[in-house]
Amino acid sequence: MPTLYQDPRSGNCYKVILTAAHLGLQIKTIDIDVTSGLTRKPEFLSKNPNGRVPLFELDDGRLLPESNAIIWYLAEGSPLIPADRFARAQMLQWMFFEQYSHEPYIAVARFWLTFVSKEQLRAKEHLIPEWHAKGNAALGVMEGHLKKNDWFAADHFSLADIALYAYTHCAEEGGFDLKSYPAVGDWLARVAATRGFVKMGKAV
Q: Which residues bind its own copies (CB under 8 A)?
A: 49-50, 58, 62, 64-70, 72-73, 76, 85-86, 88-90, 92-93, 95-97, 99-101, 103-104, 140-141, 144-145
We find the least distance from the C-beta atom of residue 29 to its own copies, in angstroms, to be 19
Q: Residue 130 or 199: which CB sits closer to its own copies?
A: 130
We find the least distance from the C-beta atom of residue 65 to its own copies, in angstroms, to be 6
We find the least distance from the C-beta atom of residue 192 to its own copies, in angstroms, to be 25
* Rounded Cα–Cα distance for residues 158 and 80 (Å): 4
- The three-state secondary structure class of 170 is coil
Q: Residue 84 or 199: which CB sits closer to its own copies?
A: 84
Q: Residue 85 or 179: which CB sits closer to its own copies?
A: 85
Q: Residue 58 or 203: which CB sits closer to its own copies?
A: 58
* Rounded Cα–Cα distance for residues 32 and 54 (Å): 10
Q: In which element (H, E) is residue 30 found?
A: strand 28-31
We find the least distance from the C-beta atom of residue 193 to its own copies, in angstroms, to be 26
CA 32 vs CA 104, 169, 180: distances in Å? 21, 22, 34
Q: Which of 148, 153, 49 is nearest to 98 (CA)?
A: 153
We find the least distance from the C-beta atom of residue 62 to its own copies, in angstroms, to be 6
* Rounded Cα–Cα distance for residues 161 and 172 (Å): 18
We find the least distance from the C-beta atom of residue 197 to its own copies, in angstroms, to be 24
* Rounded Cα–Cα distance for residues 194 and 137 (Å): 27
Q: Residue 46 or 195: which CB sits closer to its own copies?
A: 46
Are 133 and 195 a contacting pair, CB within 8 Å?
A: no
Return left, alpha or beta for 197; rule: phi > 0 is left, psi -120 to 50 is alpha, else beta. beta
Q: Residue 21 or 81: which CB sits closer to its own copies?
A: 81
